[in-house]
Structure formats: C-alpha cells, structure tokens
Chain A
Amino acid sequence: MAMSASLSRHGRIGTAMLYLLLATPAVRAWMEATMTGHMLLQIPLLAAIGVMSCHLLPERLQNSLLAAAGGAIPCVLLATFASSYWMLPRALDGALTNPLNEMAKFLSLPLLVGLPLGLAWKRLRIIGRSFVWTNAISMLAVLGWLYIIAPVRVCNNYLVDQQEIAGWWMVKLALLLFACWLGSFFVGGDPVPAESGGPQPYGGNRSQSNPT
C-alpha cells in the first residue's frame, strides 16, 4: 500500500514535470521547429500526459468521470474527434501563429484526447480496442501518404520538404503501431477484459474504494 502510494506520488510528479517541460519556451521551440517534432513528438506526448494523468486519478473519480461521460464509446469518440482536429495542417499553423491556439493545444490534447482514452481503455473489449488501434494506424498512414504526395505546401510555417519528411515518419510509425497491435494479440501486454466476465476487471478494487 505504501509502495503504491509512493509510486503514484512519483507518477504525479513525473507527469507534472513532463508537462511543464513540454511547455517551456525552449522545448516548445525545439519540438515545433520541425513538422515531425510537432506532430509526432509534441502532440502524442501531450496526449500521453492525459493518459498518465488518468491512471493517477483515484479509481472512484475515474469511474464517476466515465459514468458522467456516458461510458467508453463517447470517450473514444471525443478522443477521435479531438485528435483529428490536431492532425489538420491549419491547426498546426494556428498553434504556431496564435498563442490562444497554442494554449488550446496544450489543454485539449491531455484533457480531450488522453484523459478520455485512458478512462475508456479498460472498459473496452477486443473490438473496441481494435477500433482505437486501427483508427490511429489508418489515420497516420493516410495522412502520411497525403503529406508525401501533396502537390502544395500544407503549412505556411514549415518548409515544403518538412511535410515529406513528416509524411514518411507517419507511414513508418503506422507500420510500427500495426506491428505492436499485431504483437499484442500474441503477447497481450494489456489485460483485456474477458468477454463473459463483464466490463469490470477491476471490480475488486472498485468495491474496496467505493463502498455501497
């Protein structure tokens, strides 16, 4: 018990530190200097901070947030729509030219992408998780391909060769994610809730922290 408390304390500090680090002008400038750094490093890290924060929330709060949101499916949809927005070239340009958009990016990626995904993940069964995986993989691959073949410069703030580089990284990342996803079927990194057991793999924990 003491160990898990100190772990979660470390987790909280670590997550907060990572967030603050990403928000420092120097790190922001470095990551946003290239389209690849902006799209494939900063944006995913901000979303990952949301997932990490979700796991640091007390179990009871997680459950009530999920219930308030109407369950796992609306959460996945929210994350899908919000992440799609940040894949738009004009959203990248907006974040670079308008500080308000930059703030919106730093708030929305953890809160509207990472957090809902973290909340929904353990309630998702194999089909739901596969939807999230394939959605991410196909979005990356299609977007990457579009960036590679785009006949015009899509971001006013990035050189035209940046988009081809970013495009190839997206395709590579999509392949890597696909391999990981495939691998997860054989190895099973995450405990997928059993089909028959209902959506409550953490039922024991829950009843402890949520006496009724």
Chain B
Amino acid sequence: MKNAGRSVVATVLMTILGIGALWHSTDGLAAFTAEAARRAEILRAPRPLPAAVLEDQDGRTFSLQDYRGKLLAVEFIYTRCMTICRTLGIAFRQIRDHVPQPMLGSDFALLSISFDTARDDTPSLKAYGDAHGADSRHWRIARVRNAADLQQLLDAFGIVVIPDGLGGFEHNAAIHLLDRDGKLALISDIDEPVLFAERIAKWP
C-alpha cells in the first residue's frame, strides 16, 4: 500500500515536472523551432549588436551604430542567391514603398548585409542593389569588411548559414528591425512586408 501511494505521488510529480519542462522549453508551446525561439527572445529582450565595419555598394564604410536614433531594417543575403534572397529583396522594396515616405532617411533606413564576404565584392553588391531598386542612400547593400567580424555579427543576430552543397547557402531568412538604440528589437517573416511597414510607421 505504501508502494502504491509512493507510485501515485511520483506519477503526479513526474507528470507535472514533465509538462512543465516541455512548456518551458517551448516557450509555452509557442516555439518548437530555434527560429521561433529566436524571434520570441528578441521580443522579450531587445539585443545589443556588435560593432562590425561594413562596406556598402559604393565602397563607403560604416557601422550599424551609425544608424542610432533611426529605425533600421536589416536582412541577410548573398548576391548569387536565386531563391530566398530575391524574395527578401522584393520584400525590402515593398517595405520601402509602404512606410510613410517622410520617414525614409530621416527616421528609417534599410540595409541588406551579405554574409558571402569572400565572393560578394563591391560590384556584386552594386548589381544586386540595382536589380532590386536599392538607392544606396535609404537602402544600402553591404558586406562585412573583416571575415572575423562576420561570424560575430551572424551569431548576435542568430543567423545560421550553411552551404547547400550546390555552391550556394541556406540560411534562416527574416526581416530584422533595429530600434533607435541600435538593438535588435523585432524579427518578422519575409512574406509580410506590408505588415512590417505598418509596424514601422507606428513604432513608438
């Protein structure tokens, strides 16, 4: 009888602990993937980003911190990409066209960062920018100058880049928003650019 009682207590305890652990490890059954977890975590606690030297399609150098005081949309791409980066480019164009136009440049800018530092030189960035309508003022296409800074930057954003075996890459594609303090504050799906633009317009 004592054993049966112990068994019941242990069963109840194990059930509560087990459900609790699964609840906790999925952010309340909301995030089953690392990507969902990354987005939820940013919302809870906006994340500071490292200062990496970037170089845009005109060869100008700058850093993310130069955008302090403005909102900045960031996407990660590589210019040879024929699939998801095109979608990203189109999404960025839509965001640019849907935000209140006076915000452009004064309170909001867009930045596409290439993670293919080895192959994306200034002319490739320029070509990608021209193909997608990036004006190099409000929307810049950039590469990370030092390969060493790149991994740090990707880690801070939570971007995982893996070779696709065909000479290209697969990566978790999303649209990132840096708030006016330069912190990563929102990560949004690439198929909802209009919604993203509306959030920019209403950002406090």
Contact = CB atoms under 8 A, between A and B. Distances in A.
Nearest to B17: A81
A158 to B, nearest CB: 8
Interface residues of B, number: 30
A130 interface: no
Interface stretch (A8-16, A47-55, A64-72, A201-209): A64-72
A89 B34 contact: yes
Contacts of A152: 33, 35
A156 interface: yes
B25 A85 contact: yes
Nearest to B18: A81
A71 B3 contact: yes
Contacts of B7: 70-71, 73-74
Contact of B11 (A70, A81, A155, A156): A70
Contacts, number: 82
A180 interface: no
Contacts of A97: 34, 160
Contacts of A88: 25-26, 32
B3 A153 contact: no
A60 interface: no
Interface stretch (B109-117, B162-170, B176-184): B162-170
B10 to A, nearest CB: 2
Contact of A89 (B9, B19, B21, B33): B33
Residue from the set B19, B34, B164, B165 with the largest chain A CB neighbour count within 10 Å: B34
A93 B35 CA distance: 9
A158 B13 CA distance: 36
B21 A81 contact: yes
A84 B141 CA distance: 42
A176 interface: no
Contact of B18 (A69, A71, A78): A78
A70 B32 CA distance: 31
Contact of A73 (B11, B26, B35, B170): B11
Question: Do most interface residues of chain A lie in helix, strand or loop, or is the interface mixed?
Answer: helix
Nearest to A80: B18
B21 A85 contact: yes
B22 interface: yes
Interface string A157-168: 111100000000
A154 interface: yes
B15 interface: yes
B49 interface: no
B160 A157 contact: yes
A167 B150 CA distance: 33
B10 A90 contact: no
Contacts of A157: 160, 162
B37 interface: yes
28 contacts: A70-B6, A70-B9, A70-B10, A74-B10, A77-B18, A78-B18, A80-B18, A81-B18, A82-B18, A85-B25, A89-B32, A89-B34, A90-B26, A90-B31, A90-B33, A90-B34, A90-B37, A93-B34, A94-B34, A97-B160, A152-B33, A153-B170, A154-B32, A155-B33, A156-B33, A156-B160, A157-B160, A157-B162
8 tightest A-B contacts by CB? A70-B10, A81-B18, A93-B34, A156-B160, A74-B10, A71-B7, A77-B14, A74-B14
Given A70-B9, A71-B7, A93-B33, 20 more contacts: A70-B7, A70-B10, A71-B6, A74-B7, A74-B11, A77-B18, A80-B18, A84-B22, A85-B21, A85-B25, A90-B25, A90-B31, A93-B34, A94-B34, A97-B34, A152-B35, A156-B34, A156-B35, A159-B162, A159-B170
